[in-house]
Structure 1
Amino acid sequence: MELVRSFTWIFIRKNGSSFVCLGIIMLVYCLIYSYTKVGNSSPKKIPKYGMRKRIPDALIIGVKKGGTFAMAEFLKYHPEVKLSGYERHFFDNDINYAKGLHYYIEKMPLSGPEHLVIERTATYFNKFTAAKRVHDTNPNMKLILLVKDPIERLVSDFLETQKHLRHDWSAFNSLVVKNHSSGRIEVHDNFWMGVDIGKYDIHYQNWAQYFGPSQLLVVSSEKFVEKPWEELERVQNFLGIAVQITKSNFTSSTGKFWSIFCDKTGRSKCLHEDKGRAHPEINETVRIALKDFYRPRVAAFERMVGMKFGWMED
C-alpha cells in the first residue's frame, strides 16, 4: 500500500488533479483492496512463493470407525505433511466428482514442493467406484488403510449413527440380523451399509486391481490404539518422510488409549472425549452369527495382505 501511495503522489504531481486521474487512482486502490481483503477486515491468505494447491500424494481411505481421524490428527504435526482438514468425499460422491478435479484441488491446502499432501475420507475404501477414480486421478497415489475387528467396527458405527439419529441400542439387533421362524438367526447382508463395510476382502480386492502392495499400507487399528508410535513409524516410512513422530511425542490419556499428542513446541492435542468410548455388550447369539458371517471374509483378507489380526479367535 505504501508503494501505491507513492505512485499516487507522483501521478498527481505530473498530471494534476483532474477527475480522470482521481478515477484511475480510486480504481487502483479498489483492485488492491479486493485482492488483499475478504469482506471488510479479514486478510486474504496470499500464497508464499512456491506454495500452491494440488492433487494429494496420499489418501487415508478407511475404514470408517477404524481410527482414520486419529491417524490424520497425528500426521498433521509432521513438518513435511500438509493435511486437508475435512473429509472431502470427492471420489465416493457422484455429485462432488462430477464437479471436476478443479473443485477437488481447491479444497486442498497450500503446499510447497517439500511437502506431502494427504486427504482423509474414511468411506473411500468401501465405495466401489472410488478405486478407479483415484487411479485415474493419480496412479502413483499412496493409500493408508486402517482396519478394525469388523464386529467391533460395526458396533462403533451403530453408536455413531445412534448419536445422530437417537436410535436405542436395542435397534442394533434388528439392523444386523434377521430371525427366521425356524429360530435360525441370519446376518442382514445387504440391509445396512455398516455390515457391508466389514467385507474387507471384497473391498481390498477392488483396490488391488489398481494399486499394488507398495502403494497400499494396511494398519491394524488395534495396534494403532495400543502403541500409535509404532504404526506411525510404519506410516512415515511408507510415505517416504523422515520419522519425526515417535514415542516421545505421546503421553497416556484417561486410560482408554493413547489419545494425547504432544508436539515439539510443548502443546498437546487431545482427541475428542467420545473417541474410544466403551461399547455395550452384544447379545451372544448375535455375536456368534456375526462371527460366522465375517470369519471366512477375514481369513481371505488376511491371506491377501499377509497379516494376522486374531479378530475371529474364540
Structure 2
Amino acid sequence: MAAKTKAPAGTPVGPVPFADVETDPGLVSPVPEQLPEEHAALPSASAFNGPTNIRCYQGFWLSDYLSAAAVALQRRFEPCRDDIIVASFPKSGTTWLNALAFATMARRAYPAADAGHPLLRLNPHQCIPFLENLFRSRAEAAKLEALPSPRLMNTHMPLGMIMPGAGGCKVVYVCREPKDMVVSLWHFLRHLRPDLALADVLDSVCSGAVPYGPVWDHILGYWRASIARPDAVLFLRYEELLRDPAGNVRELARFVGLPFSDAEEEAGVVQDIVKLCSFGHLKPLEANSTGQLDPLVPVPREALFRKGVAGDWANHMTPEMARRLDEIVADKFHATGLTFR
C-alpha cells in the first residue's frame, strides 16, 4: 500500500481536534465492513473467562468488531506521507501519549499555555481519531479525509495491520511493563464486569488469547520495526516517560519533524506541554471526569485516569502471579534486546 501525498499549499495545518471536524453528511455511509467468508472458520476463544468471544485473525486475537476494522484498514486505509499514528497495546499509556503527541504537534496553532487549549475542553481521545472506530464501518471515515495534514491518529492494532510499505507514514509506539499493563487492564474491564477476577485477566494474557494479543507479538512487531526503520517507528516506554517526560517530548518532536527551536526552549514550551498533559492536570478536568468513553464501550472517561504510576502491580498480584508472567516475558523477549527492568 503506497502512501499518498496530501494538503496542497495554503490549506490549514494539522493536527486539529477531531471532535471539531465537520463532514458533509452525504459522504457518510453507515454500511458495516463485510468480513471474509472464511472468517467464521478461524480459531475462536473466550477471553477473560467470560462472554468476550475472539478469533485469531492473521496471528492476532480480535473480536468480530475489531476484525472488521482490521479488514477495512487493509482494504481502504490510504496513509499520507506525513501521517503520524500513535500505537499501543491497550492500557499501556495511550491516553497520555495521545495528549503529548497532540500538544506537541499542534503547539503552533494551540500553544500549551493558552487558556483555550483543546485539551482543556476535550478528552485526548476526542482530539485524535481512533482508527478502529473509524473503520468499523464507513460512517466516520469521511472525517479522516477531512483532516488537514499532518494527520494524527491512534490505534491498538498490530503493526502489520496498519503499517504501509516503504515511504509510508510514521508510527509512535508506547509499551508498558506487562504486570502493570495487566493490572491496569483488569481495573478498566471491571467497569464492564465488576466481578471480573484478576486471575482471569492474567490467564487470558498469558495464553495470548486476549483482544489484540498475544501481547508479546504485538510489542515485538513494533520493537523490531523500530530497530529496522528508526525513521519510521519510534518506540517509547511508559516508565521512561514517567522518569523524563520532557526528554521524551523532545524526542517525539524530533521524530515527527517538528523539533523545538532554541526560542521555544527558552520560552519553556516543552515544560508547558508536560504540565498541560500531566496526570494531575488532566484528571480533574470535566472532559476527563464525566461522560462515557465511547457509545459502544460503556466505560466512564474517568477510567482512563486511575493512578498513572509504575509498579502498582505489586499491590494486586500475588508473587506466584508475578512470577508466572515474568517467566513468559523472559522467554518471549529473550535475545531481542528489549527488557522491562
| Interval of TM-score (by shorter of Structure 1 and Structure 2) | 0.5 to 0.7
| Conservation of the 8 A alpha-carbon contact between 1:204 and 1:301 | no
Name the residue aligned to 1:296: 331
1:59-101 alpha-carbon deviations (Å, 9 max, x no partner) = 001132121211222332333589953312179x6x54xx5xx
Instruction: Tell me the TM-score normalized by structure 2.
Output: 0.53
Asked if residue 246 in structure 1 is aligned to residue 270 in structure 2, the reply is yes
What are structure 1's unaligned runs of at least 5 residues?
A: 1-47, 179-186, 262-267
**Partner deviation per Cα, 1:116-163 (whole Å, 9 max, x = no partner):** 221012x12x3x6514xx305x84211000011012112111211111
Aligned pairs for 1:138-153 (under 5 A) are 139-153=167-181
Aligned residues: 224
Deviation at 1:195, TM superposition (A): 6.1
Shift, 1:284, TM fit: 1.1
- Farther-moved stretch of structure 1 (156-165 vs 269-278): 269-278
Tell me the distance in 2 between the aligned counterparts of 1:157 and 1:63.
Answer: 10
Q: 1:176 offset after TM fit, Å?
A: 2.5
Partner of 2:238: 221
1:119 matches 2:119: no
Query: Secondary structure at 2:207's aligned position in 1?
Result: coil
Q: Write the mapping of 1:23-102 to structure 2, written as runs, cut at 5 A.
A: 50-51=11-12, 55=80, 57-77=83-103, 78-79=106-107, 85-89=128-132, 95-96=136-137, 99=138
8 A Cα contact 1:143 1:217, kept in partner: yes
- Counterpart amino acid of residue 150 in structure 1: P
| TM-superposed deviation, 1:291 | 0.6
User: Does residue 260 of the first structure (1) align with residue 281 of the second (2)?
Assistant: yes
Structure 1 50/199 Cα, relative in aligned 2: closer, same or farther at 3 Å?
Answer: closer
Match of residue 189, structure 2, among 145, 158, 161: 161
- Of structures 1 and 2, the one scoring higher in RCO (CA 8 A, sep 6+) is 2
On the 8 A contact 1:57/1:118 being kept in 2, the answer is: yes
Deviation at 1:293, TM superposition (A): 0.7
Q: Is the 8 A contact 1:227 1:258 kept in 2?
A: no
Change (3 A) 1:159 1:206: same
Larger radius of gyration: 1
Look up the SS of the partner of 1:232 in the other structure: helix
Deviation at 1:287, TM superposition (A): 1.0
How many Å separate the matches in 2 of 1:217 and 1:81? Answer: 24
- Equivalent-residue separation in structure 2 for 1:288 and 1:62 (angstroms): 24
AA of the residue aligned to 2:207:
D
Once residues 140 and 80 of structure 1 are traced to their aligned partners in structure 2, the CA distance between those partners, rounded to angstroms, is 25
Q: Does 1:135 align with 2:153?
A: no
What TM-score, normalized by structure 1, do the two folds share? 0.57
Identity %: 10
Q: Evaluate the alpha carbon distance shift between residue 49 and residue 213 of structure 1 in structure 2; reply closer, same or farther with a 3 A threshold.
A: closer
